[in-house]
Structures are given as C-alpha cells and as structure tokens.
Structure 1
Amino acid sequence: MRRTIVICLLLVMMVACRLSPSTTAPLDNPTLVQTEAKTLNLTLIQHASCPWAYFWCVVETGIHDAAQDLGVEVTIRRPHTFDPDAVTRLIEAAVETRPDAIGVAVIDPDQFRAPLTKAVQKFNIPVIAYNAGSGPEQDNIPYRAYIGPDERQGGYEAGKRLLAESPPGIKGACINHQPGALNLEARCQGFFDALSESDIEAERVNITPNPAESKKILQRYLSKNPETDLFLTLGPEAAVPFYEVIRNRKGAYSHGTFDLSRTILTAIEQGTTLFAIDQQPYLEGYLTVQWLTWIQRHGFSPPSPIISTGPSFIDRSNVNLIQEQVGQFR
C-alpha cells in the first residue's frame, strides 16, 4: 500500500512538472510559442552569399543543416553586390511579409535600426543578429542576441600576434575588401589599436571584391609604401590578391588574415601566412536558425545578448585538423 502511494505521488509530481513552465527556460512572451505541428518560416538577411564569397558557403551550410534538423523553412535574402542600402530594403520587405522570425547580419545598425525595431515592437517578430553586430545594447536595436565574433577584439589580437611573432615592425596595413562594412572596419580599428600601443603607424587600404582591380590597388600601394611590413587581410577576398602581389616583394614581411579558404590554409602550411582568425561560420548559421526556432517553439531565451563564436587562431599547430573540415564546417 505504501509503495502504491509513493508511485502515485511521483506520477502527480511528473505531470505537474510537465505542465508548469521550466525555470531554466523562461517565457519572454508566451504568445510567441508555437506548436511543432506548425512549420516555422524564417527569413535570414545577409550582405553577401555563396558562391561568390567562400565564407558564406560555410554559413549557409550551417543554416540549411539546422533547418533540416529542426524541420523549419528558411529563406535567405541577399543583394547581388555589397550594398547596405539594398540590405535595408530587403529587411523592410521581409518585415512586411511577417515571417515567424528574422535573422540579419547587422553591418549598419543606424540604417537597420528602424525596420528591425518595427519588426520587434510592432509585429512581435523575434530577431537575432548574426555574423555582424555588436549586441543589442551597443547597436541600440531590440534584437534578442548577436551570434558571431568580437570583431574589434579579433583585430586587436591579430595585431598583437603579428608584433609578437615578427621582427620589429615598421608600418602596418589593414586591407579591407568591403569598405563601409562596420564589422570589417572594427577589425581594422582593433589592429590599429594594437599597433599604436607599440608606436607603429598603420593605415587602411581599401580594395574591392574584384580580384583584378584589387591587385592593381595593392601593387600601387606597395610601390608607394615599400616600408610596410605588417599586413592584415580581412578575408579570402583580400588575401588572394594580396598573395599575388606579395610574391614579387623583396624583403621580410608578416601576414595574418581573417577567415579561411583552402588557399589561406595552404599559405599557413607554407609559412606565407602566420595565422588565420576563424569565427566558426558554420556555427553562426546553425545557431541562428536554432535559436530563432527555440524562441518560437519553446519561448527559450538566449543565455546572453552576445553569443561569441570567435576569434580563434588557426596556425601551423592546428592547420591539419582544420583542413579536414574545409568546405563544410570551416
């Protein structure tokens, strides 16, 4: 009899626990919670895409894998070329279609603030920033969380590492393939901060996504500034033309870069590049879809307004492991 009573009490407690909200997953807004029987439609808005930017192929692999794993529909919107104004129009159009949730790379918080605030406050659409952003407080946009790297810290650590692993530097150059993208500008600023602490001059070299045009710009820059010996590129689009130009240079130099490609990993193996800074783009895509789905289905809250995916360093010590993941997770 006593055993029967205990079992009954346990069953009552289990039912009560299932019916009451979890203390570890508070509901920010119970009206958002959807049943899994309803297919969620998510819209993700980027400033670049696969295949013309290798980095975004990895991000989009994460997006599609998460969509398949979680059983949601994802639409990716992006302009044909880097254009913050075009991205703003894509955000405005997406908000008017009322998707279940929105993810967006916040490359320009001032431009994106009005439509994203409208999405959240007027239409109650959950928003997450991914790849580019500084967090909801600093961007002054009421999105749930930013998923991506600390860009300025990444640039700072890159500068410090170049200084530590190189002969005393004379002058630095931050080579930016997307001038105006605030996340890339932050990388350069961190780099400048690190070099200024050692009283080393550094400047920004703006190129374009066009490799042939970028090569000419870099050739002109190096011919006018032969003393520059510390180089930071901000992605494969900048690293590839840099490699073509620097191979003819006489004298020592040190190079680091952001993001990965097979060309960059080969350069690390050969010693042409000291390191690459990885922000784990697969995770940026996967976690964005995952959190938007969890918010809508379960009312979960992200654990922090900033979910960091980097920076981390890839160099000769771990390049072999990374080679195995290129094209899918890196």
Structure 2
Amino acid sequence: MERSSLSRRLAPAVALAAAAALTVAGCSSSSGGKKAEESAGGASAGKATTPRMTVALVTHQSPGDTFWDIVRKGAEAAAAKDNIKLVYSADPSAGAQATLVQNAIDQKVDGIAITLAKPDAMKDVVSKATQANIPVVGLNSGVSDWRKLGLMEFFGQDETVAGEAFGKKLDELKAKHAVCVVQEQGNVGLTQRCDGLKKTFSGKTDVLYVNGTDMPSVKSTITAKLKQDKSIDYVATLGAPFALTAVQSVSDAGSKAKIATFDLNKDLTGAISKGTIEFAVDQQPWLQGYLAIDSLWLYKNNGNYMGGGEQPVLTGPAFVDKSNVDAVAKYAAKGTR
C-alpha cells in the first residue's frame, strides 16, 4: 500500500467522491474527447454530452511553483471529461486573486473553484459570487475557513493534521532540532503546517521565512541558517521545489542536516529514491483539481454535493518515503502526483 495508515480513515470520503465523478450521466467516448483528456492528465472516461459549462479556477499560485501545474492538470482532466471550458488564473497577492474572482463573476461563469490561502481577503468577493447564484467550491487552502465563507464544498487536506503527523514522524526518526521553512508569509495553510509540526515534535523547532518567488534567495537564506546553527539536524520545507533547493543549501553549508518536505513532484520522488530527501507528505494535488471541477459539473447537472455541506473531502495527508516511493513515482513522472 502506498498510503499510510494516517490516511486510511480518509478513504471513504475520497472513494465516494471518485465514484460519483466516474458515474457520468450521458457520456460518449468520442476520440476527440479522449485525446483532450489524455493530454490533461491521463483520464479517459469519455466526454459528457451535457450543455457546455464555463468554470473559473482561481488560485494563489506564485510564478514558477510547479505544484500548481499538477493541480491544473487534474482540473483540465475533469473539464475535458465534463464538457467544461476551464478558465485558469492565479496571483499570489490576495487582493489580486480577489480581483480575478471578481472578473470571473463579471464573465458570468457557471462555477468557481478557489483557494483560500488568505481567507479574509476573499470573503467579500465570495459573497458577491453567492449573490450572483454562482456556486463556489474550495480546494487546497482554507479547510478551516471554507464553511465560514459560504463555500459549497472543499477538497484538500487538513494542514494542522498534516503538520502534526510530520512532527510525529520527526520524533520517530530521532530528530532533535528542525527548521520549518515558510516560503510565503501570511499563508494560513503554511502557518498551520509549521504550527502542527511544533505541536507534536518533541525537539526544538525554528521557523525560517524565505522569499518563495526567488530561489537563489531561498538557497542563500537556508544556507546562512545552517551555517549559523550547526545543531539543526532536519530541514522541513513546505513544497517540493524548496526541498530540492535545500539539498544544495545543506551541501553549501557543510551541514549534516537531513531534509523532509510537504508535497511532491517527479524530481522529488527521484530524490527520495536516491536518499537525498527523507520523506514527503503527499496531499494529492491532481485529485484536488479534478474533484473541484468535477463537483461543479455534478452540482449543475444532478444537484450533487459532497460532504453534506459540512465536511471537507480530504485528499491527504499520506507519507511517501523509500518504502513506497516507486508506487508513486510512475504517476509523478506523468505529472499527476
């Protein structure tokens, strides 16, 4: 099994969502639909013959953050299957992201999927979408806030639970001093990860803020921290690209610190196989994108919604390490994990 015992209790909600997504009323297996789905991430369940929809996916992606490429592939796969025109936009600035959501409202889209990295900034525009009778679902960031903001559904992981699991894992590995590297200040999900880690890890935890949009700066900041404090034996990063950069920092600093991270990509699975990264916590971003878009099709065409309007559909966390990385790597190579 590639998924840890931690995530087994999450399986019923995800399985229910996946079953609903695969039960597509009125599908046809046209060759054009199949090609679109394959290019979007490997799905080939046919194409819905329901009326064309337009759905906006608005995230807080920073330029160059490959994590969101995986989310987008999942969304594109669902859109190809469901006869949806997907309009993707992103901005790490909360105000700019809110403006992008307003643009989607003005375009009178049929549904909106958003991330809530900075939920307070999104409150007013979500209310405007609701007033315009546009269904809104959340994904990835905002598990603590989606209901308060009036979103219909949420797809992602509980970042506090993920952080707590990470901290326990560090204890199992006999770590003594960890530094948690935060690439975006004010992002509630990233804060919850570090807070969760500190809560369960019995060793010392430092928090190091870096500029996630400037990788040379990320590298030099981590290097400086490791040179300053030789007692650090684990670097905990909150995204795959930052973990790979931290490998260089450890080398440059002459440190013996090990590296573990949240999130995956194909390069990271290779690093786990080689042993340069100890483990990763996977939240299945492709699945988040897929379910968010598919849920809007299901709601529009059959009145379905998942979680009963009260519970999130959890897609993680699950540990990936040397013992199970091969089972994940083949999907990561396609850009779907």
If the length of structure 1 is used for normalisation, what is the TM-score? 0.82
* Ranges in structure 2 where 5+ consecutive residues have no aligned partner: 1-19, 21-47
Superposition pairs of residues 130-149 of structure 1, within 5 angstroms:
130-135=139-144, 140-149=148-157
Distance change (3 Å), C-alpha of 1:83 and 1:205: same
Corresponding residue for 1:125?
134
Distance change (3 Å), C-alpha of 1:179 and 1:135: closer
Instruction: Report the CA distance between 1:172 and its aligned residue.
Output: 1.7
| 1:17-64 Cα shifts (integer Å, max 9, x gaps) | xxxxxxxx9xxxxxxxxx965311111101117x82221111111111
- 2:153–2:305 contact (8 Å) kept in structure 1: no
Corresponding residue for 2:277?
273
Q: Distance in 2 between matches of 1:152 and 1:267?
A: 26
1:153 to 161, 171, 188: 161
1:244 to 243, 248, 251: 248
Structure 2 residue matching 1:228: 3-state secondary structure: coil
- 2:227–2:253 contact (8 Å) kept in structure 1: no
Q: Distance in 2 between matches of 1:152 and 1:73?
A: 34
* Ranges in structure 1 where 5+ consecutive residues have no aligned partner: 1-24, 26-34
> How well do the aligned residues superpose, as a CA RMSD in angstroms?
2.0
Structure 2 residue matching 1:142: 3-state secondary structure: coil
Corresponding residue for 2:95?
85
Q: Distance in 2 between matches of 1:159 and 1:255?
A: 13
Q: Distance in 2 between matches of 1:285 and 1:274?
A: 27
- 1:177–1:206 contact (8 Å) kept in structure 2: yes
- 1:162–1:254 contact (8 Å) kept in structure 2: no
| 1:167-187 Cα shifts (integer Å, max 9, x gaps) | x51x22101122221111111
Work out whether 1:235 is the aligned partner of 2:239.
Answer: yes
- 1:136–1:145 contact (8 Å) kept in structure 2: no
Structure 2 residue matching 1:102: 3-state secondary structure: strand
Q: Distance in 2 between matches of 1:328 and 1:248?
A: 30
- 2:250–2:256 contact (8 Å) kept in structure 1: no
1:53 to 65, 76, 87: 65
Give the percent of matched residue pairs that are identical in Structure 1 and Structure 2. Answer: 26
Distance change (3 Å), C-alpha of 1:135 and 1:99: farther
Instruction: Report the CA distance between 1:266 and its aligned residue.
Output: 2.4
Corresponding residue for 1:6?
none
Corresponding residue for 2:214?
210
Instruction: Report the CA distance between 1:317 and its aligned residue.
Output: 1.0
Corresponding residue for 2:184?
178
Work out whether 1:40 is the aligned partner of 2:53.
Answer: yes
Corresponding residue for 2:78?
66
| 1:50-103 Cα shifts (integer Å, max 9, x gaps) | x82221111111111111111111101112xx2122112112222232211110
- 1:135–1:306 contact (8 Å) kept in structure 2: no
Q: Distance in 1 between matches of 2:88 and 2:125?
A: 17
1:323 to 316, 324, 329: 329
- 1:219–1:245 contact (8 Å) kept in structure 2: yes
Q: Distance in 2 between matches of 1:251 and 1:285?
A: 38
Structure 1 residue matching 2:331: 3-state secondary structure: coil
Corresponding residue for 2:123?
113
Q: Distance in 2 between matches of 1:36 and 1:203?
A: 53
Work out whether 1:192 is the aligned partner of 2:192.
Answer: no
Structure 1 residue matching 2:307: 3-state secondary structure: coil
Q: Distance in 1 between matches of 2:164 and 2:306?
A: 27
- 1:66–1:286 contact (8 Å) kept in structure 2: yes
Structure 2 residue matching 1:158: 3-state secondary structure: helix
Superposition pairs of residues 255-294 of structure 1, within 5 angstroms:
255-294=259-298
Instruction: Report the CA distance between 1:114 and its aligned residue.
Output: 1.1
Q: Distance in 2 between matches of 1:286 and 1:135?
A: 21
- 1:136–1:146 contact (8 Å) kept in structure 2: no
- 2:179–2:206 contact (8 Å) kept in structure 1: yes
If the length of structure 2 is used for normalisation, what is the TM-score? 0.80
Structure 1 residue matching 2:260: 3-state secondary structure: strand
In the alignment of these two chains, the number of paired residues is 287
One-letter amino acid of the structure 1 residue matched with residue 250 of structure 2: I
Superposition pairs of residues 298-309 of structure 1, within 5 angstroms:
298-304=302-308, 305-309=311-315
